[in-house]
Structures are given as C-alpha cells and as structure tokens.
Structure 1
C-alpha cells in the first residue's frame, strides 16, 4: 500500500524545504515538491507544514533492563514499545551492561526480535563489561555473520567493573568483528564502555597509533563522564574517531553544552553522537553521598538535549539532529537509516513550531498521531 506525506518541512537532516514524500511498504520511493498525482492511489497524511526529520536512533539502550548494583530489587525493567515511540526513537541498539549472568545474551536477542515484530527497528551488540564476550553462537565472528541484528561487540575499559583488557585482547575482538563484518556486509564496531579510571581512553589511542587499527571501527561511549575524559575524546575525534555522549546517565555537564564545547574545539558534528544508556540503573544520593533511591536512566534524554542544543545553544536544526540521525547511522554502518532519501527506511518524526514531538512513523507505519501513541506493544494496555 502506498502512503503519501504532504506539506512537510523536511530535514533529511539537511534542510530540503517543503516536500511531499511517497512511501511504498517500509521504504521511501519518491521525494518531490508535488506528488499529488499519487493521491488517488495512496493513503494521505497532511503534515500541515510541520518539521519532519528522520526517525531517531539510540545506539546504546538496555532494552532488557540493567541495574542491580543495590540488590535484585534495583534491577530495572524492560523497555516498552510505547516508551520508544513517545520520544521518537524508531531504531534502537540493545546491549548488556555489567551483569552478564542474570541478563542473558539470548534474552537480549529475543527482546530485539520482539521490538522488530512490534514495528520499530532493533539491533544489538554481543558482549558486556567483561573481556569474556557473551555470544549467541560460538564466537563474535560467527555472531556477526549469522545474526542479522548483530552490529558489533561491547566491552568495558577504565572501569573497576571491567576485566582490564589489554590492547592485544581488544585487537583480537576487533579482528573477529571486522572479518565477520566483511562476510555479512556489515561495518561492525567495537562499542567501548568508558569508566572513570585515570587510564581513560589511553588503550584506544594505543590501538590506533601503535597497532594502526582503523579508528572508524572503535566506538567509545560515555565520553562526557568527566571533563578530562571529554578532552581526550575530542582528541580522538580530531583524528577521525566517532565519540558518543551519554544523555541519560552520569555526565560532568549538560550533554548539549559538551557538544557546543567540542564544536568550539573544531570537532565535526558528523563525528559526535548522542545515546541515552536508557533503562540503566542509576543511584540517587543526598548531599552527603548517602543512598536515597534507585531510578531508571531516561530514554527521552536524546531528544531533550537536541532541542536544548537548538533552542539554547543556537545550533541549526539540520546540524543538531545529526547527533541522533545521520551520525549514529554512519557510526553503525546503517546506510538505510538516519537520512530521508529515496531508498531509505520510512522512519520519520514530526514536530510543531516549538519542536514538540507530535507524530512518529516507523518502517512506513504511523505510530503516533498528533501527540497520541496509536500503536502499542503486544502486552501494553
């Protein structure tokens, strides 16, 4: 069935102006100033001049839940479809965290597949904090080859909860990711959790400078944890690396301010991404550092920070939205995501004049209409 979006102020994320968009199934098949000739054959949605962006990408989310550092009762719940749609996230990458025991890699795969069946696009990373990467098959390489949803492997460094991996151990993981990626026609990345130890990103520079491993396959996250770490991340970006700023968990300043600072230092927006760390378990303490309660890392923080970057930071819409559309798509190697173009997936977010999210399309299907979620998860009331 054909669908026709009319009268949209389109950002792809570059500004295209007022356009009509024709959708066939899950794909964009035409973009033009006037596609009214298809109206009789298509279901028409009039955007009424709303700002239309690509659907949003969150490349780091605990879709099966995480947490647990304050006991079993502090383990966070799974992500629901409605949560994703409510903040415009139409593509998500699920992963494990500290816990590779009660959180199972096959359960993660099952959750990714269930989100797909409910209407969004979902991928995953194998691995977790430990150097003993958890996989569905016998290896990272075969996961990359045989699991369509597998985009790479996660590991942790510079964190007391990590396994303190050596450069050679990381290189061997990168080799499996790359060889598996070649075979499966995927980019493949090593997604690297950064803790707050003094070693920061030193080992990642060693991989690039001493062992000459291509930097585009190394993807550090939580780079905004401290000012010192972020300064090193800026140096990493200046030699071509993509850096991921966490919006929903620990950070030394507001993420949008980190972006402004990085831009001042000469970092390209194309090499920066936002991700939420959504549904991670966070600890709330009082002024004396005493435990108060547990809370869930919010999944709406990506969009909130992009809007602040535009409204408070003065960054143009077409640049700010790169952080959650084209830049993560490039980092993940998803050529059909993050850009409104013929052949791309029909994922869209529509906003009013105040950049309030009003409508969401995922894979060609409207999921939110005028601020109301119209497609919910299978077990949501």
Structure 2
C-alpha cells in the first residue's frame, strides 16, 4: 500500500533539498523533510541516500505503433516497447502517427496506447497523421477529441517538407479552429502538433496562425525546430511572440548533416539569449523512421531511435554545458505537462499527483523508475 523514498535530493523540478516522499498506491501522499515509517502499515522503504529524484519524464511525441514506410514496406518500424520506455525514465507518452496514415490508423494507435497503459505507462494519442484533411476515428478531429478519452489533439501535421500534403493556410486555420472547439468541449489541451521540415517557408503558417486568428497560441506546437539553423532562428522569434516549440532529441551535427542543432546546444543558446524556456519542450520522436533522401527525393537509408535519447540529451545539457538542473528537467517534466494540460496530475512532485518519479545517482544515471507507484 505504501512506498517510502527516504533521504533523497529532490527536484520537483524546482530544487526542494533533502526530502522523504511517501506514495500511497498510485499517488504521492506526502513530501516532508522526514516521514516516520512506523506510522504506516505494510510500507516498502527505499533508501535514497546519495540519490536524486526527478518527476517522471513526459515524451509528447512517440510513434508508439511504429512509423516509417517512406522507402516502402521494408522501411516500416516496429511498435514501442513499454519496458524500454520506462527504463528511459519516461512515465507518460503521447502517441502519434507520421507519414503513414494508410496502413496505420487511429484505431491501431489507440489499441497500442491501451496496451502500453496496461504495461505501466500513462498514455495519450493525437488523432490524424501527416495528411490534410486528417485521418480520424469518428469522422472529425472535433468528435475524436470529445468522444475518445486518449485523444488530446491532432498531428503530426506535416509542413515545409517534401512529404507534406501542401495544405492551404485556410485548411490549416480551419483545422486549428476545429481542434480548439474540441478542446473546449472536452476540457483537453487541443494541440495542433506540426512536423516541421527543412523547406524555406518554415514556420510561416505558424506566425500567420498567431497573428491572423483568434485561436490561442497554446494550441500550436511545432516540432523538429532544431532541424536547421534557419528553422531554429525562426523558432526563437516564434518564442518571442509567445508561441510554444518542441525540440527533437537525436539531431546531432555530422558530415552528412552539418546544419542541424543538437537539442542540448539549442537549450543553452535559448538560455544565453534570455529566452523564457518555460514554453519549450523536447521529445524523442522514438520508434519513427529517420529517412535520408538523395537529391531526387529517394530514400537511401532509414533508421529509428529509442526514447533513451531524451534524457541522454538533457543530461548532456546539464553535465557538459552547465544548464541548471531545474531548467533542463522542466523541459521534459513541468513544461510538457503544462502543454498537454496534465499539470494537475503530472510534471512535478507534489502531494496528490501521480506517483511518477525517476531515481538517479549523482552522475545522473537512472537507477529506478516509479510509474503510478510501481517500480521498474
């Protein structure tokens, strides 16, 4: 019934100092300087001396049902594995379809989310895929949000990319309005989650949405914005106008791709520029494909990534670049909880919230993960 984490250094993600944390079933019951275990029956005590505890990580962009297919059937990727995700410190995921909205569908995505939920994760999904009009389960984005418990928005809508369906701005603004209405009726976040490619038009539609419509900026989340320097510079300006952005882990500059920006470098640059990182999230894009195209648009190779890269790159920001722990950890805890409208349950360590946490050693290696009070 009870689990007591003793003598930990706690980041909520704000620094709380040395604390004891008591779980009662799947919720946090108490966080105090000292909690007497003898006051509780059947208590499991976990010695956390020399340990650091963070809230469970939130990955808001995971291809849980697999992805890929841009190079034909052999480039389809496998579906997500709950054990691997949990070992990465991630306790909450938002599942998404990508380029393939034909052989993969929302029913399959929902079923995979339910399977992962049964294996210990908290799961949500986006309706739709790259295409416009989006594929849905009930016939519209609005009704999917109202009637399907796990649907928290639509995406990933593909823009500025050779795989885009080249929607007109009127189609995008109408889709955003439908999502906004679904959000109001359902009490959900109602994100329109955009896949951003490397084309020159970049975030043009996003700037128009926040300047030309009355839809709140909190409904738009462009991802992969560290794909190129030009796109990242646009993202900086978008942040300055009050928008949200999502960085993608795994973009590491190399000989084949010199123009991308590593997520940890992007975080450091934003801080150095004095940008409020409270509206910045980061996701792994895990289990999707990472295709490489030739100059004619043909896929010449395809790979995939693990959710493990999410915390790997946050740790690099902290240990290699000196980003304050509180700021770095917020990007995968508090910030996405706010964006997904889950902060009443997730994103911080507070009494009454879900018992999700990550226990690390002093070198920020993950030792143990608790998801809804269960240890992994």
How would you bin the TM-score normalised by the shorter chain?
A: over 0.9
Q: For residue 46 of structure 2, what is the aligned residue in structure 1?
A: 45
Q: For residue 122 of structure 2, what is the aligned residue in structure 1?
A: 121
CA distance in 1, matches of 2:97, 2:252: 17
CA distance in 2, matches of 1:291, 1:188: 33
Contact (CA 8 Å) 1:248, 1:278: kept in 2 or not? no
| Residue 295 of structure 1, CA deviation | 1.9
CA distance in 1, matches of 2:27, 2:41: 19
Distance 1:290 1:115, change over 3 A: closer
Structure 1 residue corresponding to 2:335, chosen from 306, 323, 327: 327
CA distance in 2, matches of 1:317, 1:330: 19
Contact (CA 8 Å) 1:181, 1:188: kept in 2 or not? yes
Asked if residue 216 in structure 1 is aligned to residue 232 in structure 2, the reply is: no
| Residue 43 of structure 1, CA deviation | 2.0
Q: Deviations over 1:273-314 (max 9, x none)?
A: 11011011124699xx99775321232111011101001111
Contact (CA 8 Å) 2:152, 2:190: kept in 1 or not? yes
The answer to which of 183-192 and 214-223 deviates more is 183-192
Structure 2 residue corresponding to 1:271, chosen from 259, 267, 279: 279
Contact (CA 8 Å) 2:291, 2:302: kept in 1 or not? yes
| Residue aligned with 1:163, SS | coil
CA distance in 1, matches of 2:104, 2:222: 22
| Residue aligned with 1:245, SS | strand
The answer to which of 247-256 and 260-269 deviates more is 247-256
| Residue aligned with 2:328, SS | helix
| Residue aligned with 2:17, SS | strand
CA distance in 1, matches of 2:213, 2:119: 43
| Residue 41 of structure 1, CA deviation | 4.3
Size of the alignment, in residue pairs?
365
Structure 1 residue corresponding to 2:164, chosen from 156, 162, 165: 162
Q: Report 1:157-196 matches (<5 A).
A: 157-196=159-198
CA distance in 2, matches of 1:138, 1:25: 38
CA distance in 2, matches of 1:300, 1:69: 24
TM-score (norm 1): 0.92
Contact (CA 8 Å) 1:284, 1:292: kept in 2 or not? yes
| Residue 42 of structure 1, CA deviation | 2.0
CA distance in 1, matches of 2:123, 2:363: 29
TM-score (norm 2): 0.93
Q: Report 1:28-107 matches (<5 A).
A: 28-37=28-37, 38-107=39-108
Contact (CA 8 Å) 2:127, 2:151: kept in 1 or not? yes
Asked if residue 308 in structure 1 is aligned to residue 310 in structure 2, the reply is: no
| Residue 214 of structure 1, CA deviation | 1.3
The answer to which of 250-259 and 137-146 deviates more is 250-259
Structure 1 residue corresponding to 2:209, chosen from 207, 210, 217: 207
Contact (CA 8 Å) 1:249, 1:297: kept in 2 or not? no
Q: Deviations over 1:94-130 (max 9, x none)?
A: 1000111111211000000100111110110001111
CA distance in 1, matches of 2:72, 2:187: 41
Q: For residue 233 of structure 1, what is the aligned residue in structure 2?
A: 235
Distance 1:297 1:317, change over 3 A: same
| Residue aligned with 2:176, SS | helix
| Residue aligned with 1:324, SS | coil
CA distance in 2, matches of 1:98, 1:283: 11
Q: For residue 299 of structure 1, what is the aligned residue in structure 2?
A: 307
| Residue 326 of structure 1, CA deviation | 0.6
Q: For residue 347 of structure 2, what is the aligned residue in structure 1?
A: 338
| Residue 167 of structure 1, CA deviation | 2.4
| Residue aligned with 2:16, SS | strand
Contact (CA 8 Å) 1:18, 1:49: kept in 2 or not? no
Structure 2 residue runs without a partner (length 5+): 254-259
Contact (CA 8 Å) 2:158, 2:165: kept in 1 or not? yes
Q: For residue 4 of structure 1, what is the aligned residue in structure 2?
A: 4
Q: For residue 375 of structure 1, what is the aligned residue in structure 2?
A: none
Q: For residue 374 of structure 1, what is the aligned residue in structure 2?
A: none
Q: For residue 26 of structure 1, what is the aligned residue in structure 2?
A: 26
Distance 1:174 1:283, change over 3 A: closer
The answer to which of 259-268 and 146-155 deviates more is 259-268
CA distance in 1, matches of 2:95, 2:250: 15
CA distance in 2, matches of 1:187, 1:239: 20
